Amino acid sequence: MGKIDSTFVGYILSYVRVWPLAVILIRPLSTQNRQIKYALNHFDHNYLQLREQLTVVDEPRESKAMACIVTGRLTRLRSLMSILLATTFVGCASMPASPPPRILLLGEVHDNPDGHQKRYDYLRVLVERGWRPTIVMEQFDRENQALLTKAQTECADADCVIRSAGGKGWEWPYYRPLIELALRYHLPLIAANVSRADAASVMKNGLSVALDQETIATYRLQEPLPVDLIDGQRLAIETGHCGKAPESMVQGMVNAQVARDVAMAQALRKNSKTGAVLIAGNGHVRRDIGVPHWLLAVGVSDFQTHGYIERGSDTVESAYDIIHFIAPHPRPDPCGDMNFQSKPAL
């Protein structure tokens, strides 16, 4: 045969024959879009080169036989390559590198079961390897911390914890495995969210009604919020409300989101001695406008953000360190019955 990239041939043969083993060996960084695109382009280039050179007929019978095998497998493989890169590589992101950073921020699309399962699997692997983080959750309101702590001590299962400290508005079956994991491994659960009542007060009266003076001073919230943060939050809120949020309410809604993000950042800071993981919506774990912004504001940089993003959805990819693509979840048109009282889709 002509001159062929032997490393690539070996890779292809190994991948075609034992791709389940290859899945185990692929590093999580392959989930980055730019690397997926690079891998696909590299495959296309070598694929065409191989197909052309493997059709040479003046070769020993053994070589021609191998050429036929490889050519046939390459043809079938190429038809699946985009899917494999987008799904197999992303699946490997559920096999986390070790050790994790001190703080992990794991996002979610609130009603997407595939995202909840992938995130649970990711965290479960880390815990089974010996990591013992505090689990900081958006789903529990701060004022229920005493109830949550008591429930962890007295409850035998997740349903008991949810009944004791969980509020309305969350699809709790999605969070049951996480809470069971916390009970099984004695991982503290921290209630980190600003309640809807407090958020409504923030919208009307400012951040100081929901955050104490120490927190206001620590995060310099007595000063004007950064313009890029305000603009990013405004865009997220307006998009989440399908452009129907009244202008008179948007700034108050920005303040409410900031209050939530600061409260979660504070909870992570105070509970990360042996590691901490935040369970929250994708909007809250964005580096540019979410909780990470406020961690960096107080000098905390040992963290990693993971977005769990539905394939085909619009997202700011640079806002996350790692993206896990998840299957789209069927739902009614979110803009169909949208009104200005609806909760931001964050």
**Reported pTM:** 0.72
Proportion of the chain above pLDDT 90, given as a percent: 61
Asked if 92 contacts 26 with a C-beta cutoff of 8 angstroms, the reply is yes
Give per-residue pLDDT as tens, 254-263: 999 999 999 9
Q: DSSP string spanning 148-166?
A: HHHHHHH-SSHHHHHHHH-
- When computed from its CA atoms, the radius of gyration of the chain, rounded to whole angstroms, is 24
Look over the chain and give the mean of its residue pLDDT values, rounded to a whole number. Answer: 80
Question: In 89-166, where do the E strands start and end?
Answer: 103-106, 134-141
CB neighbours of 98 closer than 8 A, spacing ≥ 6? 126, 129
Proportion of the chain above pLDDT 70, given as a percent: 68
Residue 230, judged by CB atoms within 10 A of its CB (0-12, 13-18, 19+), counts as: middle
**How much is the pLDDT for 331?**
82
The alpha carbon dihedral of 83, 85, 88, 89 has a sign of negative
Total Cβ atoms within 10 A of residue 6: 8
Is the per-residue pLDDT at 290 higher than 60? yes
Q: What domains can you pick out in the chain, each with its CATH number?
A: 6-92 (no CATH), 103-326 (3.40.50.11550)
Judged by average pLDDT, the poorest of 73-82, 98-107, 271-280 is 73-82
Residue 306, judged by CB atoms within 10 A of its CB (0-12, 13-18, 19+), counts as: buried
Confidence of residue 151 (pLDDT cuts 50, 70, 90): very high
CB neighbours of 303 closer than 8 A, spacing ≥ 6? 101, 102, 103, 104, 105, 268, 292, 295
Q: Which residue has the higher pLDDT, 49 or 314?
A: 314
Give per-residue pLDDT as tens, 19-40: 443 443 344 443 444 444 445 4
Confidence of residue 281 (pLDDT cuts 50, 70, 90): very high
Mean pLDDT of 167-172: 94
Give per-residue pLDDT as tens, 29-84: 434 444 444 454 445 445 455 545 444 444 454 554 455 444 455 544 444 444 44
**How much is the pLDDT for 19?**
41
First-to-last alpha carbon distance for the chain, in angstroms, is 56
Between CA 40 and CA 82 the distance in angstroms is 7
Mean pLDDT of 233-240: 92
Q: How many CA atoms lie within 13 A of 236 on its CB side?
A: 27
Asked if 327 contacts 263 with a C-beta cutoff of 8 angstroms, the reply is no
Confidence of residue 214 (pLDDT cuts 50, 70, 90): very high
Counting DSSP H helices and E strands in the chain, the numbers are 12, 6
